[in-house]
Amino acid sequence: MRLIPKRGYFLLATGLVLGFLLNVILTGIYGFRGGSRQVVGLPERVEIVFLYSSEKSSWLEEVTPLFEKWFKEKYGFEVRVKLIAAGTHETINMIMQGSVRPTIWSPASSIWVPYFNYRWKKKYGKDIAKEWVPLVISPIVIAGWKSLAEKYHVTCFRDLYELSEQGVDYKWGHPDPLLSNGGTMTVLLEFAEAAGKPLSELTVEDLLNETILEIVRTIESHAVFYGKSTGFFGTWAADNGPDAITFFGVYENIVIDNAIRAERKWGDRLVAIYPEYGTLLSDHPFIILDADWVDYWQKFAASQYLLFLLQPEIQKRAMKHGFRPANPLVPLDSTIFCEENGVSYEIPVKVMEPPPGEVLEALFKVWEKVKNPGAG
Protein backbone atom coordinates (compact mmCIF):
# COMPACT_ATOMS: atom_id res chain seq x y z
CA MET A 1 0.00 0.00 0.00
CA ARG A 2 1.39 3.38 -0.99
CA LEU A 3 2.24 5.52 2.03
CA ILE A 4 0.70 9.00 2.03
CA PRO A 5 1.37 11.32 4.99
CA LYS A 6 -1.60 12.98 6.67
CA ARG A 7 -1.44 16.58 5.53
CA GLY A 8 -2.02 17.73 1.99
CA TYR A 9 -1.34 15.89 -1.19
CA PHE A 10 -3.56 15.82 -4.18
CA LEU A 11 -7.00 15.95 -2.61
CA LEU A 12 -6.10 18.84 -0.36
CA ALA A 13 -4.32 20.61 -3.19
CA THR A 14 -7.30 20.16 -5.47
CA GLY A 15 -9.72 21.40 -2.82
CA LEU A 16 -7.66 24.49 -2.07
CA VAL A 17 -7.13 25.32 -5.71
CA LEU A 18 -10.76 24.74 -6.75
CA GLY A 19 -11.96 26.83 -3.84
CA PHE A 20 -9.62 29.59 -4.83
CA LEU A 21 -10.68 29.38 -8.46
CA LEU A 22 -14.35 29.64 -7.50
CA ASN A 23 -13.54 32.79 -5.57
CA VAL A 24 -11.67 34.19 -8.55
CA ILE A 25 -14.58 33.49 -10.89
CA LEU A 26 -17.04 35.28 -8.62
CA THR A 27 -14.77 38.25 -8.07
CA GLY A 28 -13.89 38.40 -11.74
CA ILE A 29 -17.60 38.86 -12.48
CA TYR A 30 -18.54 41.19 -9.67
CA GLY A 31 -15.22 42.64 -8.49
CA PHE A 32 -14.48 42.96 -4.80
CA ARG A 33 -12.98 45.37 -2.35
CA GLY A 34 -10.15 44.40 -0.02
CA GLY A 35 -9.41 47.37 2.16
CA SER A 36 -8.97 50.25 -0.28
CA ARG A 37 -8.09 48.00 -3.22
CA GLN A 38 -10.54 46.86 -5.87
CA VAL A 39 -9.95 43.96 -8.25
CA VAL A 40 -11.65 44.48 -11.62
CA GLY A 41 -10.68 43.05 -15.00
CA LEU A 42 -7.49 41.24 -15.97
CA PRO A 43 -3.93 42.50 -15.59
CA GLU A 44 -1.53 42.52 -18.53
CA ARG A 45 1.20 40.77 -16.57
CA VAL A 46 1.74 39.26 -13.12
CA GLU A 47 5.06 38.51 -11.46
CA ILE A 48 5.30 36.06 -8.60
CA VAL A 49 8.40 35.50 -6.51
CA PHE A 50 9.09 31.90 -5.54
CA LEU A 51 11.60 31.51 -2.70
CA TYR A 52 12.44 27.84 -2.34
CA SER A 53 15.01 25.38 -1.05
CA SER A 54 17.77 24.61 -3.52
CA GLU A 55 17.32 20.80 -3.51
CA LYS A 56 14.54 21.04 -6.09
CA SER A 57 16.20 23.65 -8.33
CA SER A 58 16.81 21.40 -11.31
CA TRP A 59 13.17 20.24 -11.42
CA LEU A 60 11.69 23.72 -10.99
CA GLU A 61 14.03 25.28 -13.53
CA GLU A 62 12.95 22.60 -16.00
CA VAL A 63 9.18 22.94 -15.55
CA THR A 64 8.62 26.63 -14.72
CA PRO A 65 8.98 27.87 -18.33
CA LEU A 66 6.36 25.27 -19.26
CA PHE A 67 4.03 26.74 -16.64
CA GLU A 68 4.47 30.29 -17.93
CA LYS A 69 3.55 29.15 -21.44
CA TRP A 70 0.60 27.08 -20.14
CA PHE A 71 -0.72 30.02 -18.11
CA LYS A 72 -0.57 32.47 -21.05
CA GLU A 73 -2.43 30.03 -23.30
CA LYS A 74 -5.05 29.35 -20.62
CA TYR A 75 -5.73 32.89 -19.35
CA GLY A 76 -4.51 35.23 -22.07
CA PHE A 77 -2.10 37.27 -19.94
CA GLU A 78 1.48 36.75 -18.89
CA VAL A 79 2.88 35.42 -15.65
CA ARG A 80 6.54 35.49 -14.78
CA VAL A 81 7.92 33.36 -11.97
CA LYS A 82 11.04 34.75 -10.36
CA LEU A 83 12.87 31.74 -8.92
CA ILE A 84 15.11 32.35 -5.89
CA ALA A 85 16.88 29.31 -4.45
CA ALA A 86 18.56 29.26 -1.04
CA GLY A 87 19.06 27.04 1.98
CA THR A 88 15.86 26.53 3.97
CA HIS A 89 17.03 28.26 7.15
CA GLU A 90 18.41 31.09 5.04
CA THR A 91 15.02 31.58 3.31
CA ILE A 92 13.37 32.21 6.69
CA ASN A 93 16.00 34.74 7.65
CA MET A 94 15.63 36.46 4.28
CA ILE A 95 11.89 36.90 4.79
CA MET A 96 12.26 37.94 8.43
CA GLN A 97 14.83 40.57 7.47
CA GLY A 98 12.74 41.81 4.53
CA SER A 99 15.46 41.24 1.93
CA VAL A 100 13.04 39.11 -0.13
CA ARG A 101 9.25 39.42 -0.21
CA PRO A 102 8.11 36.19 -1.84
CA THR A 103 4.66 35.30 -3.05
CA ILE A 104 5.39 31.62 -2.45
CA TRP A 105 7.71 30.03 0.07
CA SER A 106 8.78 26.40 -0.19
CA PRO A 107 11.20 25.09 2.43
CA ALA A 108 12.64 21.62 2.03
CA SER A 109 10.36 20.21 4.72
CA SER A 110 7.16 21.10 6.55
CA ILE A 111 9.07 20.87 9.85
CA TRP A 112 10.01 24.50 9.18
CA VAL A 113 6.43 25.77 8.98
CA PRO A 114 5.75 25.82 12.77
CA TYR A 115 9.18 27.34 13.34
CA PHE A 116 8.63 30.15 10.81
CA ASN A 117 5.17 30.88 12.19
CA TYR A 118 6.62 30.88 15.72
CA ARG A 119 9.20 33.51 14.78
CA TRP A 120 6.80 35.58 12.67
CA LYS A 121 4.10 35.57 15.34
CA LYS A 122 6.56 36.70 18.01
CA LYS A 123 7.39 39.72 15.85
CA TYR A 124 4.08 40.51 14.14
CA GLY A 125 1.40 38.78 16.21
CA LYS A 126 0.07 36.39 13.56
CA ASP A 127 0.98 33.40 11.43
CA ILE A 128 2.28 33.92 7.91
CA ALA A 129 2.19 30.33 6.59
CA LYS A 130 -1.38 29.16 7.09
CA GLU A 131 -1.98 26.54 4.39
CA TRP A 132 0.44 24.29 2.59
CA VAL A 133 0.53 21.47 0.09
CA PRO A 134 3.54 19.15 -0.46
CA LEU A 135 5.09 19.21 -3.91
CA VAL A 136 7.48 16.22 -3.89
CA ILE A 137 8.80 13.81 -1.27
CA SER A 138 12.12 12.42 -0.12
CA PRO A 139 12.41 10.76 3.31
CA ILE A 140 15.45 11.07 5.54
CA VAL A 141 17.42 7.81 5.69
CA ILE A 142 20.62 6.49 7.17
CA ALA A 143 22.77 5.75 4.14
CA GLY A 144 25.50 3.18 4.45
CA TRP A 145 27.38 0.37 2.80
CA LYS A 146 25.26 -2.73 2.40
CA SER A 147 27.87 -5.14 3.77
CA LEU A 148 28.42 -3.01 6.89
CA ALA A 149 24.71 -2.34 7.47
CA GLU A 150 24.15 -6.11 7.46
CA LYS A 151 27.25 -6.86 9.56
CA TYR A 152 26.28 -4.42 12.31
CA HIS A 153 22.49 -4.84 11.98
CA VAL A 154 21.87 -1.12 11.79
CA THR A 155 18.15 -0.30 11.63
CA CYS A 156 17.97 3.09 13.37
CA PHE A 157 19.92 5.90 15.01
CA ARG A 158 19.80 4.17 18.38
CA ASP A 159 21.77 1.30 16.83
CA LEU A 160 24.55 3.75 16.04
CA TYR A 161 24.69 4.65 19.72
CA GLU A 162 24.81 0.95 20.69
CA LEU A 163 27.66 0.34 18.23
CA SER A 164 29.64 3.09 19.91
CA GLU A 165 28.97 1.59 23.33
CA GLN A 166 30.29 -1.72 21.98
CA GLY A 167 33.51 -0.06 20.87
CA VAL A 168 32.87 -0.21 17.10
CA ASP A 169 34.88 2.54 15.41
CA TYR A 170 32.58 3.59 12.58
CA LYS A 171 32.60 6.92 10.70
CA TRP A 172 29.43 9.04 10.75
CA GLY A 173 28.37 12.19 8.94
CA HIS A 174 25.53 14.52 7.97
CA PRO A 175 25.24 18.20 7.06
CA ASP A 176 25.43 20.87 9.75
CA PRO A 177 21.86 21.51 11.05
CA LEU A 178 22.62 25.24 11.15
CA LEU A 179 23.29 25.16 7.41
CA SER A 180 21.17 22.36 5.98
CA ASN A 181 17.61 21.07 6.23
CA GLY A 182 18.93 17.52 5.84
CA GLY A 183 21.21 18.05 8.82
CA THR A 184 18.39 19.52 10.90
CA MET A 185 16.09 16.59 10.14
CA THR A 186 18.80 14.02 10.89
CA VAL A 187 19.65 15.53 14.29
CA LEU A 188 15.94 15.85 15.17
CA LEU A 189 15.53 12.12 14.54
CA GLU A 190 18.57 11.40 16.71
CA PHE A 191 16.98 13.34 19.58
CA ALA A 192 13.56 11.72 19.10
CA GLU A 193 15.05 8.22 19.30
CA ALA A 194 17.24 9.19 22.25
CA ALA A 195 14.15 10.50 24.06
CA GLY A 196 11.99 7.53 23.00
CA LYS A 197 9.29 9.91 21.78
CA PRO A 198 7.56 10.84 18.53
CA LEU A 199 8.91 14.13 17.23
CA SER A 200 5.56 15.86 17.70
CA GLU A 201 5.82 15.16 21.46
CA LEU A 202 9.44 16.26 21.82
CA THR A 203 9.89 19.19 24.24
CA VAL A 204 12.54 21.79 24.88
CA GLU A 205 13.16 20.07 28.22
CA ASP A 206 13.99 16.84 26.34
CA LEU A 207 16.65 18.66 24.36
CA LEU A 208 18.20 19.86 27.61
CA ASN A 209 18.05 16.48 29.35
CA GLU A 210 21.63 15.36 29.98
CA THR A 211 20.89 11.65 29.42
CA ILE A 212 19.38 12.40 26.02
CA LEU A 213 22.18 14.82 25.17
CA GLU A 214 24.77 12.17 25.97
CA ILE A 215 23.18 9.65 23.59
CA VAL A 216 23.20 12.16 20.73
CA ARG A 217 26.69 13.35 21.70
CA THR A 218 27.95 9.76 21.54
CA ILE A 219 26.61 9.28 18.01
CA GLU A 220 28.05 12.63 16.94
CA SER A 221 31.45 11.75 18.39
CA HIS A 222 31.87 9.52 15.33
CA ALA A 223 31.21 12.35 12.88
CA VAL A 224 34.08 12.97 10.47
CA PHE A 225 32.47 15.80 8.53
CA TYR A 226 29.43 18.10 8.57
CA GLY A 227 29.40 20.72 5.83
CA LYS A 228 26.24 22.17 4.30
CA SER A 229 25.09 19.75 1.60
CA THR A 230 23.49 16.30 1.65
CA GLY A 231 24.60 15.81 -1.94
CA PHE A 232 28.24 16.05 -0.89
CA PHE A 233 27.99 12.92 1.26
CA GLY A 234 26.70 10.69 -1.52
CA THR A 235 29.41 11.83 -3.91
CA TRP A 236 32.10 11.62 -1.23
CA ALA A 237 31.11 8.06 -0.27
CA ALA A 238 30.95 6.87 -3.87
CA ASP A 239 34.29 8.45 -4.70
CA ASN A 240 36.22 7.44 -1.57
CA GLY A 241 34.61 4.21 -0.36
CA PRO A 242 33.86 2.61 3.03
CA ASP A 243 37.16 3.75 4.60
CA ALA A 244 36.08 7.39 4.20
CA ILE A 245 32.63 7.15 5.75
CA THR A 246 30.53 4.27 7.09
CA PHE A 247 27.06 5.75 7.62
CA PHE A 248 25.57 9.17 6.93
CA GLY A 249 22.19 10.89 7.26
CA VAL A 250 20.78 12.16 3.96
CA TYR A 251 17.72 12.30 1.73
CA GLU A 252 16.70 9.09 0.02
CA ASN A 253 17.38 10.58 -3.43
CA ILE A 254 21.10 10.90 -2.55
CA VAL A 255 21.26 7.10 -2.30
CA ILE A 256 19.48 6.72 -5.65
CA ASP A 257 22.01 9.05 -7.28
CA ASN A 258 25.07 7.18 -6.00
CA ALA A 259 24.27 3.52 -5.23
CA ILE A 260 25.19 1.95 -8.55
CA ARG A 261 28.28 4.11 -9.09
CA ALA A 262 29.54 3.16 -5.62
CA GLU A 263 29.03 -0.55 -6.30
CA ARG A 264 30.89 -0.38 -9.62
CA LYS A 265 33.89 1.26 -7.95
CA TRP A 266 33.98 -0.52 -4.58
CA GLY A 267 32.06 -3.77 -5.08
CA ASP A 268 29.67 -2.72 -2.30
CA ARG A 269 26.40 -0.89 -2.72
CA LEU A 270 25.16 2.16 -0.85
CA VAL A 271 21.73 1.44 0.65
CA ALA A 272 19.05 3.45 2.40
CA ILE A 273 18.21 2.38 5.96
CA TYR A 274 14.76 3.65 6.87
CA PRO A 275 14.89 4.26 10.66
CA GLU A 276 12.57 1.71 12.27
CA TYR A 277 11.32 4.24 14.85
CA GLY A 278 10.14 6.49 12.03
CA THR A 279 11.43 9.08 9.61
CA LEU A 280 10.73 12.64 8.51
CA LEU A 281 9.74 13.69 5.04
CA SER A 282 11.45 16.34 3.07
CA ASP A 283 8.06 17.12 1.52
CA HIS A 284 8.76 20.54 0.03
CA PRO A 285 5.55 22.35 1.05
CA PHE A 286 4.16 24.98 -1.32
CA ILE A 287 2.92 27.94 0.72
CA ILE A 288 1.24 31.09 -0.59
CA LEU A 289 2.19 33.54 2.14
CA ASP A 290 -0.46 35.43 4.07
CA ALA A 291 1.45 38.71 3.80
CA ASP A 292 0.42 42.24 2.93
CA TRP A 293 2.82 42.36 -0.03
CA VAL A 294 1.03 39.48 -1.81
CA ASP A 295 -1.84 40.85 -3.91
CA TYR A 296 -4.91 39.16 -5.30
CA TRP A 297 -3.63 38.32 -8.78
CA GLN A 298 -0.36 37.03 -7.41
CA LYS A 299 -2.36 34.64 -5.21
CA PHE A 300 -4.34 33.55 -8.26
CA ALA A 301 -1.22 32.95 -10.38
CA ALA A 302 0.43 31.10 -7.48
CA SER A 303 -2.60 28.83 -7.09
CA GLN A 304 -2.37 27.99 -10.79
CA TYR A 305 1.34 27.28 -10.43
CA LEU A 306 0.52 24.83 -7.63
CA LEU A 307 -2.09 23.11 -9.76
CA PHE A 308 0.42 22.86 -12.62
CA LEU A 309 3.20 21.42 -10.45
CA LEU A 310 0.85 18.70 -9.19
CA GLN A 311 -0.15 17.58 -12.68
CA PRO A 312 0.90 13.95 -13.32
CA GLU A 313 3.24 14.70 -16.21
CA ILE A 314 5.05 17.36 -14.15
CA GLN A 315 5.27 15.08 -11.11
CA LYS A 316 6.75 12.36 -13.33
CA ARG A 317 9.55 14.74 -14.28
CA ALA A 318 10.34 15.15 -10.57
CA MET A 319 10.95 11.42 -10.23
CA LYS A 320 13.85 11.70 -12.67
CA HIS A 321 15.49 13.90 -10.04
CA GLY A 322 14.97 11.25 -7.32
CA PHE A 323 11.82 12.70 -5.72
CA ARG A 324 8.69 10.72 -4.94
CA PRO A 325 5.54 12.36 -6.33
CA ALA A 326 3.25 14.11 -3.87
CA ASN A 327 0.27 13.42 -6.11
CA PRO A 328 -0.78 9.87 -5.12
CA LEU A 329 -2.45 9.38 -8.49
CA VAL A 330 1.01 9.24 -10.06
CA PRO A 331 2.47 5.71 -9.89
CA LEU A 332 6.03 5.35 -8.68
CA ASP A 333 8.60 4.48 -11.30
CA SER A 334 9.85 1.06 -10.20
CA THR A 335 13.02 1.47 -12.27
CA ILE A 336 14.01 4.39 -10.00
CA PHE A 337 12.63 3.33 -6.60
CA CYS A 338 14.09 -0.16 -6.42
CA GLU A 339 16.61 -2.33 -4.62
CA GLU A 340 19.14 -1.89 -7.42
CA ASN A 341 19.26 1.82 -6.58
CA GLY A 342 19.58 1.04 -2.87
CA VAL A 343 16.06 2.10 -1.84
CA SER A 344 12.63 0.61 -1.18
CA TYR A 345 9.66 0.99 -3.50
CA GLU A 346 7.48 1.88 -0.52
CA ILE A 347 8.51 3.86 2.53
CA PRO A 348 8.52 0.97 5.04
CA VAL A 349 8.34 2.97 8.28
CA LYS A 350 5.97 5.49 9.85
CA VAL A 351 6.33 9.17 9.06
CA MET A 352 6.62 11.50 12.04
CA GLU A 353 4.83 14.83 12.40
CA PRO A 354 6.94 18.01 12.85
CA PRO A 355 7.91 19.20 16.34
CA PRO A 356 6.67 22.51 17.78
CA GLY A 357 8.47 25.62 16.54
CA GLU A 358 10.14 26.30 19.88
CA VAL A 359 11.74 22.82 19.79
CA LEU A 360 13.39 23.57 16.47
CA GLU A 361 14.65 26.88 17.81
CA ALA A 362 16.07 25.08 20.87
CA LEU A 363 17.76 22.49 18.65
CA PHE A 364 19.92 25.15 17.04
CA LYS A 365 21.11 26.25 20.49
CA VAL A 366 21.89 22.77 21.88
CA TRP A 367 23.72 21.70 18.72
CA GLU A 368 26.91 23.21 20.16
CA LYS A 369 26.56 20.83 23.12
CA VAL A 370 26.47 17.64 21.04
CA LYS A 371 28.42 18.19 17.84
CA ASN A 372 31.91 16.80 17.32
CA PRO A 373 34.22 19.84 17.41
CA GLY A 374 36.80 17.89 15.45
CA ALA A 375 34.53 17.36 12.43
CA GLY A 376 34.75 19.78 9.53
pLDDT per residue as tens digits for the range 279-330: 999 999 999 999 999 999 999 999 999 999 999 999 999 999 999 999 999 9
Does residue 301 contact residue 71 with C-beta atoms inside 8 Å? yes
For residue 44, CA distances in Å to 41, 79, 151 come to 10, 9, 64
Report pLDDT digits (tens) over 67-88: 999 999 999 999 999 999 998 9
- Residues belonging to the chain: 376
Give the pLDDT band (50/70/90) at residue 6: very low
pTM of structure: 0.83
CB 51 within 8 A of CB 102: yes
More reliable by pLDDT, 16 or 285:
285
> pLDDT (tens digit, 9 = 90+) per residue, 201-232?
999 999 999 999 999 999 999 999 998 888 89
Q: Which domains, and CATH codes, for the chain?
A: 9-136+284-325 (3.40.190.10), 137-281+338-370 (3.40.190.10)
At 29, is the pLDDT very low, low, confident or very high (cuts 50, 70, 90)? very low
Which helix (H) or strand (E) is 223 found in, with range? strand 223-225
Residue 142 backbone dihedrals phi, psi, to 5 degrees:
-95, 110
Going from the C-alpha of 1 to that of each of 34, 52, 226, the distances in angstroms are 46, 31, 36
**What pLDDT, in 10s, does the model give residues 237-291?**
999 999 999 999 999 999 999 999 999 999 999 999 999 999 999 999 999 999 9
Question: CA–CA separation, 104 vs 299, rounded Å?
Answer: 9
Tell me the C-alpha distance between 327 and 334, whole Å.
16
Query: What is the pLDDT at residue 179?
Result: 87
Q: Which 3 state secondary structure label does DSSP give 335?
A: coil
Q: Summarize the confidence of residues 152-161 as an average pLDDT.
A: 97
| Whole-angstrom distance, CA of residue 290 vs CA of residue 103 | 9
CB neighbour class for 222 (10 Å; exposed up to 12, middle 13-18, buried from 19): buried
